[in-house]
Structure 1
């Protein structure tokens, strides 16, 4: 069965999220709502959906998302039962009516292929539910490392709400606690797929809301987003670079180099040197040294 987990905080768009759950053509799912001590109690709103789908609501005593968004995601997951598959749905995102139905239609093939991560086609909407993008489709089977590089080149997009993770595999890892949870979803699809295949369901769409009250849409958190981006590429380069092709490794290290040239960090110099000598080649190491000389 499928667990849909909602880390709740704001009520502004929550009604649209709940309505999309009530409209599912397949009802084999259970919703777990973890209220992060939000300022607006959703009790009256939830009452309207009491008999429309199966859900559990729990209000936490303290706000955790303001300190660590990923820890809020994780404690919401602990509310769930033993469902085999987990979706972490934003409290402002909207499921197409056939999202759950398509999951069960594709499940036999997913099980045959031993897939651990599933994603859906997506479309971006704004605060008035106006469509702001094309529908983002993906190859049915795509290596997660290749997908990351498409995203790095701005050829595609993704966010946490569009993924399903197998619970058994999820137990092996925790979310990387990057600031604002920025790139924590990217690390999740890499780790939980074992740096292997993501299976895409393109016949159902999830609408991802980007507004002036969402982390993605806000403009006053650029510093933290940049810090998270630096940590993300450093973490991959230092711990998981072997899963990538040589060409991809070079590009990942170049992402960390940007931070090195800002900070002139001796620590980063030795790290980047080590990565090149062990994971690329002498030629790319000397290109790095040359860039230092040019920028000095």
Structure 2
């Protein structure tokens, strides 16, 4: 059975989330709602949906998401039972009516072959009141190829669009980055655990960007940038062997560019980069990196 984990904090778009769950044509799922000591109680709203789908609501006495969003995800998952598959759905995201049905229809295709399943997505831009075209994926794809497509800007990714095995979650957990920024990226490099990601493109998850969520907020941009840099360092240190030689060089360049967008590289960062260019040696990228180091020194 499938557990849909719903970390709750803000009520602004929550009814649309609940309605999308009530609209599912296949009700073989249970929802676990973890209220992060919100100032906006959802109990009246939840009463409307009693009997429309199976859910458990629990209010935590302490707000944890403000300190560690990944820890809030984890304690919400801990509310769930013994379901083998998990989805974490944002309290402002929503599903089209066929998501659960499509998951079960495709189950035999990915059973024992994949630990991570993802859906097609559309991005809801709240401020402009627009919805993007559908983002689809190869039916079978390695975690490394998927991530490189994200790095290149060819595709996008968000936590809500994935279903993952409890076994993989228990093995790896979520990396506790500030604001949980890039924690989903790290998870979906880890959770596949050597298997391919399976995509269901005919069912859609709607991901909302608004001033109410972290993705749409500008005031934390510096922290987001530094966290992204830390994430890239972790990928290069821990997961680089997943990638081809060409992809390794692309990641190194993306890491370097990411830092330069917000500040100058530190000496230890240049050393880190140069060492990797030597390890993954390719003459032209190596010579270009040396040239960039020299230019950086001369500018000081």
TM-score by length of 1: 0.94
CA distance in 2, matches of 1:28, 1:48: 20
Q: Residue 150 of structure 1 corresponds to which residue in structure 2?
A: 149
CA distance in 1, matches of 2:28, 2:129: 29
CA distance in 1, matches of 2:259, 2:105: 48
Per-residue CA deviation, residues 92-116 of structure 1 (Å, 9 max, x unaligned), is 111110100000000011115x200
Q: Residue 69 of structure 1 corresponds to which residue in structure 2?
A: 69
Asked whether 1:168 is paired with 2:195, we answer: no
Which sits farther off after the overlay, 248-257 or 91-100? 248-257
Residues 182, 231 of structure 2: 8 Å contact kept: yes
Q: Residue 94 of structure 2 corresponds to which residue in structure 1?
A: 94
RMSD: 1.8
1:166, CA displacement in angstroms? 0.5
Per-residue CA deviation, residues 113-163 of structure 1 (Å, 9 max, x unaligned), is x20000000111133894421011111111221121211122111100000
Per-residue CA deviation, residues 203-261 of structure 1 (Å, 9 max, x unaligned), is 11111111111111112221121112111111111111111111111121223334666
Residues 10, 38 of structure 1: 8 Å contact kept: yes
Q: Residue 25 of structure 2 corresponds to which residue in structure 1?
A: 25
Q: Against the structure 1 CA distance between its residues 76 and 235, is the aligned structure 2 distance closer, same or farther, given a 3 Å change threshold?
A: same
State how many pairs are aligned: 295
Q: Residue 47 of structure 2 corresponds to which residue in structure 1?
A: 47
Secondary structure at the counterpart of residue 106 of structure 2: helix
Asked whether 1:266 is paired with 2:267, we answer: yes
Per-residue CA deviation, residues 60-116 of structure 1 (Å, 9 max, x unaligned), is 11111111111111111111111010000000111110100000000011115x200
Q: Residue 278 of structure 2 corresponds to which residue in structure 1?
A: 277
Pairs within 5 Å for 1:1-296: 1-112=1-112, 114-127=113-126, 130-194=129-193, 196-258=195-257, 262-281=263-282, 284-296=285-297
Residues 7, 89 of structure 2: 8 Å contact kept: yes
1:280, CA displacement in angstroms? 3.5
Instruction: Extract unaligned runs of 5+ from structure 2.
Output: none
Secondary structure at the counterpart of residue 171 of structure 1: helix
Secondary structure at the counterpart of residue 31 of structure 1: strand
Residues 229, 259 of structure 2: 8 Å contact kept: no
TM-score by length of 2: 0.93
CA distance in 2, matches of 1:195, 1:104: 23
Q: Against the structure 1 CA distance between its residues 32 and 128, is the aligned structure 2 distance closer, same or farther, given a 3 Å change threshold?
A: farther
Residues 270, 293 of structure 2: 8 Å contact kept: no
1:264, CA displacement in angstroms? 4.2
Residues 84, 167 of structure 2: 8 Å contact kept: yes
Residues 145, 196 of structure 1: 8 Å contact kept: no
Residues 151, 254 of structure 2: 8 Å contact kept: no
CA distance in 2, matches of 1:51, 1:34: 19
Q: Against the structure 1 CA distance between its residues 240 and 280, is the aligned structure 2 distance closer, same or farther, given a 3 Å change threshold?
A: farther
Which sits farther off after the overlay, 137-146 or 89-98? 137-146
Instruction: Extract unaligned runs of 5+ from structure 1.
Output: none
